Amino acid sequence: MLVEIWSDIGCPWCFIGKRRFEAALSRFDHASEVEVCWRSYQLDPSLPERFEGSEVEYLSKVKGMDPAQVSGMLEHVTAQAAGVGLNYRFDDLVVANTFTAHRLIHLARDLKGAETAAAVKEALLAAHFEQGQDISSHDVLAGIGAGAGLEPDAVREVLAGTGYTDSVDSDIAEARALGVSGVPFFVLDRRYGISGAQPEEVFTQALTQAWQEGQRPLQPVVPEGGACAVDGSGC
């Protein structure tokens, strides 16, 4: 069974959703027969390579909300992250465009396969939300690639050019074709779509249903929630 997950490295709910899905998958009887493929998505393609300001300042600007309200929202997300073992540090977070980081994930998949791509995805999320690293920096990305077994100089060479730009663009276009308007978004065997960082039991139910039932058009199994939307809502 194929599970495709559209997410953005700059989306705090995507890391939480990753943990909740992984918890469900670890208890799924057929987990060894499930292939997970990480797909690219960008919540804000217009973001400069690096935003000179805090996450609160950035989200306040994007959403037109009072900074105090944004701070409260981030506190809620931080608490949710802590519930799945993540230590979000929004005060240290570097607001950066994620496009080049997505290219690194595609490079890792092409060179080393899905497991290496997943390791890079994990490392990117941790670097962004827990370690205060600039994920637009080619040096940071080369280091993350090296940690997953990629040659740093080869990573720098690819990222200095336009390699895998088409792959990222294709993922984003496919998400739009599927009607994805926020992330994380999970597609199970092209049978079920799950929007948001849903509770573990929702993923468990969906995995079981997708495994048991035959091919059918994509249909949502839960209402949207716990997701970052393109319009800035939910983050």
Split at pLDDT 50, 70, 90, the class of 131 is: very high
With helix as H, strand as E and coil as C, how does the chain read?
A: CEEEEEECCCCHHHHHHHHHHHHHHHCCCCHHHCEEEEEECCCCCCCCCECCCCHHHHHHHHHCCCHHHHHHHHHHHHHHHHCCCCCCCCCCCCCECCHHHHHHHHHHHHHHCHHHHHHHHHHHHHHHHCCCCCCCCHHHHHHHHHHCCCCHHHHHHHHHCCCCHHHHHHHHHHHHHHCCCEECEEEECCCEEEECCCCHHHHHHHHHHHHHCCCCCCEECCCCCCCEECCCCCC
Give the per-residue pLDDT at 215.
44
Q: Which residues contact 67 (CB under 8 A, 6 or more apart)?
A: 56, 57, 60
Model confidence pLDDT, tens digit, residues 54-66: 999 999 988 788 9
Domain annotation for the chain: domains and CATH numbers: 2-229 (3.40.30.10)
The mean pLDDT of 38-62, rounded to a whole number, is 94
Q: Beta partners for 35?
A: 2
Tokens of 153: 């100089």
**pLDDT of residue 24 exceeding 70:** yes
* 46 Cβ contact list (under 8 Å, min separation 6): none
* Averaged pLDDT, 141-167: 97
User: What would the two tokens of residue 14 be?
Assistant: 């995507």
Q: Residues 86-123: pLDDT tens digits?
A: 999 999 999 999 999 999 999 999 999 999 999 999 99
And the tokens for 183?
Answer: 């992330």
What is the reported pLDDT for 146?
98
Q: Give the separation between CA 228 and CA 115, rounded to whole angstroms.
A: 25
Tell me which of 234 and 107 has the higher pLDDT: 107
The 10s digit of each residue's pLDDT in 176-232 is: 999 998 999 999 998 889 999 999 999 999 999 999 874 455 566 665 667 777 666
Contact 145, 108 (CB under 8 A): yes
pLDDT value for 216: 54
Show Cβ contacts of residue 45 under 8 Å, excluding neighbours closer than 6 positions.
97, 99
* Torsion angles phi and psi, residue 105, rounded to 5: -60, -45
CA distance 126 to 117: 14
> pLDDT at position 213, please?
79
**pLDDT tens digits, 71-89:** 999 999 999 999 999 999 9
- The answer, yes or no, to whether residue 234 has pLDDT greater than 80, is no
Kind of pairing, strands 228-229 and 182-183? antiparallel
* pTM for the model: 0.90
